[in-house]
Structure 1
Amino acid sequence: MKRAALALLAFLGVACIVAAIAVPTYLVPRLKVVPLDLDITSVATTVPTDGDSANRFPATIFDRCSVTKSKAATLEAHLTQQRRSVIVEPSNKDQATVQSGQTVQIDRVRDAAGKESDPTMASSDADRKCNDGLLNATVDRVSVNRKTSAPNGAVSELQLEAVPEGGNVEEASVKLEDRKGFQYKFGFDVGKREYYYYDTTTRQDAIAKYVGEKTIDGVKTYHFVADVPETDLSNLPNPQGDAPLGTILDMPAKWWGIKGKGVKPNDIVTMHRYAKATRNVYVEPVTGTIVYGEEDQEQYFKSPDDSDDSPRAVRDFRMDALKGTFKWNDETVSHQAQRAQSYLDQLKWGGTITPIILGVLGALFLIAWAVLVWLGRRRGDGPDDADQTRGDEPTPDDGGAGEAASPEAQTTVIPTPQGGPYEQYSAGETTTVLPQTPQEPSTQAIGGYGAISSPMDEAQTQSFGAPADGFAPIPGSEGAQSGSPYPFADPTRPMPDVERYRTPDQDQPGRHER
């Protein structure tokens, strides 16, 4: 059980250390990709540029119904831009295809006479009128590299029309070639430098320049500004290869309201629709999440001919088709800030907190393992374990003899001599094994009725019983002189004639009575 516990501690320690290294180096890079469950909805509304919150009509749009009237007109309006971006096929571990549907809706309008109205939108399968509440609608699809978030060219198309009955998406879409810029999300680890940002209105990449930092809802962001240059929208073909509807208007000069030298009221004047914009995006730099967006959009009609051959009144003419500043509403900003913070927390746990916890746990497990091993070895060297590990070593109490020593090493065996008056007793029956007494190391064990196995040293003491009955010291012998009770202290001397000491009534050898 003890060995199993030590092995478990060592295993857990090493496993935690390995995991602490693997999580930031293996798991975190797999978190820093475009998620396949991406679903972003952003809502932006037009706001007054002068800060006048009482202005309910901060934008300007072209009155489409004026095409059938005697004079071109514009309307004051309040607009809402809504965009939803989701992941669609083809998407896999390497790429994600983003589909983003965007609409611009007219919430309310006011004409030059001050009349207000709230336009409504017809159903998608119904014919739309000139005063319909839907101003514009597109569907953008783009495949991006999941690691860099940059377009990879696999899918890049813009749907401008509803799909015809029995048709497909490609028939209602145009290809967007050479697309490079970010749009719905920046890449990870954004730097303070320039990036390409794609504009679907003008179908081109604009340079987004870093201008500073700003904290929005507790999230630090980098502020980028992209200036979209003026673009003639009539040069951007529709799926059929023609100029999109409403980008070229041929109307009399009086309809346009153009007056001046070289211009007659009924002269047909051709105007193209142009667009430009200034887009502000606030990006959380670690995850590339766009937390806040604001853009100044401007579309207008003007003459494509700016040469000296064209009358000045025509060259200088401008009429707004769409003008307004769109800002994300508070709900969108709050949602995006929470999304960015959630991504940051995941990366923080995976890249910092979890490795630290695993590293500390691994170190504690290994320290516990080392301490237990050290304590076990130390207890093995102590007195309690000495008798178990080295039973053959002497201890102070046993006089130099270990408890584990064999009986032969602790006793002296003296066999009964053969022959003589006691030969009727066999050696096996008369041999006596006496354990050596620890307190008296010099005491010897003597076989019953036998001779001493070795000469006695003068310094040694002999432990014998009382003298055998009928025996007395032999006069003149060493035993008698030394006071020994036995006449045969020296085993090298010849055996005495015991018959001399036998009494007449002792008729059996080896037996005597007093």
Structure 2
Amino acid sequence: MRRVFGLILLALGVFAVAGAVLLPTYVYPRLAKVPLDQDSTSVLEGTASKVLAVTDNGSGPVSNIREDAKLTATGHVQANFAAPEMRQDTDYAVWMLAVQVTDDADGTLLSASKRQVCFDRRTGEGYEPHGETDPPCAANSSYVTELKDKADKDGLKPPETNDYKAQPGLNFKFPFGAEQKDYKVYDDNTGAAVTARFVGPETVNGIETYKYVQDIPDTKIATKDVPGALVGRTEPTVQADLYYRGINTLWVEPVTGIEVKQQQQQHQELRSLTSAAVVFDGTLAYNGTTIAQMVDQVDANKGKLEFLSTTGPLWLGIGGAVLIIVAIVLLVRRRPAEPPAPRKRRQVVFAQT
């Protein structure tokens, strides 16, 4: 009976140790991927000391600079299941991000942007082609939608065109198991991957996060035809370069890679040959509702990921080792030898004479 029990414990111990090895090396890499299905909204709120507003009073567009405006930026992320990459067993996902910035005072739409990205579901890296014969993402799965400055006809919205291009760097989130190091993060305004420096840990709403800061230097991002009066010129229309600089701060929960909090400080100005005008200077950050949503996502996923990568393997390894040791002791230990049977006394019978 002892031998049978020992063999059972040995089998359970080996199974537990195997599980401790397989969970982080096989199971975790296959399950630590963002879901294909995504439909979420995030909201940033803040103020701008200056912001360009283009309105139409019925006689055509009118540009003016508003001061000390309260703004709301709404970002909507949605999966595109029409993309060929969106298969259940794929390592890549295709999501679209649409952002609108409005003035809280009257609801005026100040800016709008849209882009679609094919990215790695584990690392968050936007796919960048390197001449593969069988690339994981199609050439038309990543693009930035551009809005022309003028409509083809009066009274119509300016047409949109898609600029098909890679969007390298991290998109939407940080990798699972984010580290205390610098990362390249895609910047919407410059269209490039810019370094986000790790600056230290910080607690946000009770969640331990890593804080990263992305410092974007003064960069020319476009050339536009603008009203001369906007940049202090007398001509009806002049050509001006749009320059941008900014500081983006990201608070990331490292196990899940979720951006729990985000803050964007931006400055944009138009520069002509002889003059310049600030068209945006402000700071926007996740509002309380969005931060709470991100915290809920962390709470729902962090424990599962930690079990697969750390706590599960640790306890299975310890438990398996204990079971194996007990099994070996039971199997090797001998039964105590039975005492020898007592010798029977010889009975001597004397014959009677």
TM bin (shorter chain): 0.7 to 0.9
- Give 1:371 deviation, angstroms: 4.8
- Give 1:294 deviation, angstroms: 1.1
Q: 1:378 to 1:32 in 2, by over 3 A?
A: same
Q: 1:61 to 1:258 in 2, by over 3 A?
A: closer
- Give 1:30 deviation, angstroms: 3.0
Q: Deviations over 1:197-227 (max 9, x none)?
A: 2222332333333344422223121222231
Q: Which structure 2 residue ranges, 5 or more long, are not aligned?
A: 129-136, 148-159
Question: Is the 1:299–1:323 contact (alpha carbons within 8 Å) kept by the matching residues of 2?
Answer: yes
Question: Is the 1:211–1:225 contact (alpha carbons within 8 Å) kept by the matching residues of 2?
Answer: no
- Give 1:293 deviation, angstroms: 1.1
Q: 1:439 to 1:17 in 2, by over 3 A?
A: farther
Normalised by the length of structure 1, the TM-score is 0.55
CA distance in 1, matches of 2:294, 2:188: 22
What's the counterpart of residue 93 of structure 2? Answer: 96
Whether 1:396 aligns to 2:342 is yes
Task: Tell me the SS of whatever aligns to 2:8.
Answer: helix
Q: 1:293 aligns with which of 228, 237, 262?
A: 262
Is the strand fraction higher in 1 or 2? 2
Task: Tell me the SS of whatever aligns to 2:295.
Answer: helix
What's the counterpart of residue 105 of structure 1? Answer: 102
Whether 1:378 aligns to 2:335 is yes
Amino acid at match of 1:140: R
Whether 1:328 aligns to 2:283 is no
| Map 1:146-165 → 2, pairs under 5 A | 146-153=121-128, 154=137, 155-160=141-146
What's the counterpart of residue 188 of structure 2? Answer: 200
Amino acid at match of 1:185: K
Q: 1:64 aligns with which of 51, 55, 64?
A: 55
What's the counterpart of residue 277 of structure 1? Answer: 245
CA distance in 1, matches of 2:62, 2:41: 39
Amino acid at match of 2:244: K
- Return the structure number with greater relative CO, CA threshold 8 A, min gap 6: 2
CA distance in 2, matches of 1:147, 1:378: 55
Question: Is the 2:221–2:244 contact (alpha carbons within 8 Å) kept by the matching residues of 1?
Answer: no
Q: 1:354 to 1:69 in 2, by over 3 A?
A: closer
RMSD over aligned Cα atoms = 3.4
Amino acid at match of 2:269: Y
Amino acid at match of 1:327: A
Task: Tell me the SS of whatever aligns to 2:174.
Answer: coil
Q: Which structure 1 residue ranges, 5 or more long, are not aligned?
A: 49-57, 109-117, 120-132, 162-170, 235-246, 260-264, 307-314, 387-394, 400-437, 444-460, 465-484, 486-514
Amino acid at match of 1:30: R
CA distance in 1, matches of 2:61, 2:11: 88
CA distance in 2, matches of 1:372, 1:12: 14
What's the counterpart of residue 10 of structure 1? Answer: 10
Amino acid at match of 1:258: G
Task: Tell me the SS of whatever aligns to 2:242.
Answer: strand
Q: Deviations over 1:404-435 (max 9, x none)?
A: xxxxxxxxxxxxxxxxxxxxxxxxxxxxxxxx
CA distance in 2, matches of 1:398, 1:103: 105
What's the counterpart of residue 110 of structure 2? Answer: 135
Q: 1:216 to 1:15 in 2, by over 3 A?
A: same
Q: Deviations over 1:276-317 (max 9, x none)?
A: 1312222334443222111122333331xx3xxxxxxxx123
Question: Is the 2:10–2:323 contact (alpha carbons within 8 Å) kept by the matching residues of 1?
Answer: yes
Amino acid at match of 1:277: R
| Map 1:473-484 → 2, pairs under 5 A | none
Normalised by the length of structure 2, the TM-score is 0.76
How many positions carry a matched residue from both structures? 323
Amino acid at match of 2:265: D
Whether 1:217 aligns to 2:192 is no
What's the counterpart of residue 21 of structure 2? Answer: 21
Q: 1:352 to 1:42 in 2, by over 3 A?
A: same
- Give 1:63 deviation, angstroms: 4.1
Amino acid at match of 2:214: V
CA distance in 1, matches of 2:125, 2:110: 30
What's the counterpart of residue 83 of structure 1? Answer: 75
Question: Is the 1:206–1:227 contact (alpha carbons within 8 Å) kept by the matching residues of 2?
Answer: yes
Question: Is the 2:3–2:331 contact (alpha carbons within 8 Å) kept by the matching residues of 1?
Answer: no
Q: 1:8 to 1:256 in 2, by over 3 A?
A: closer
- Give 1:83 deviation, angstroms: 1.1
- Give 1:270 deviation, angstroms: 0.2
CA distance in 2, matches of 1:160, 1:258: 27
What's the counterpart of residue 319 of structure 2? Answer: 361
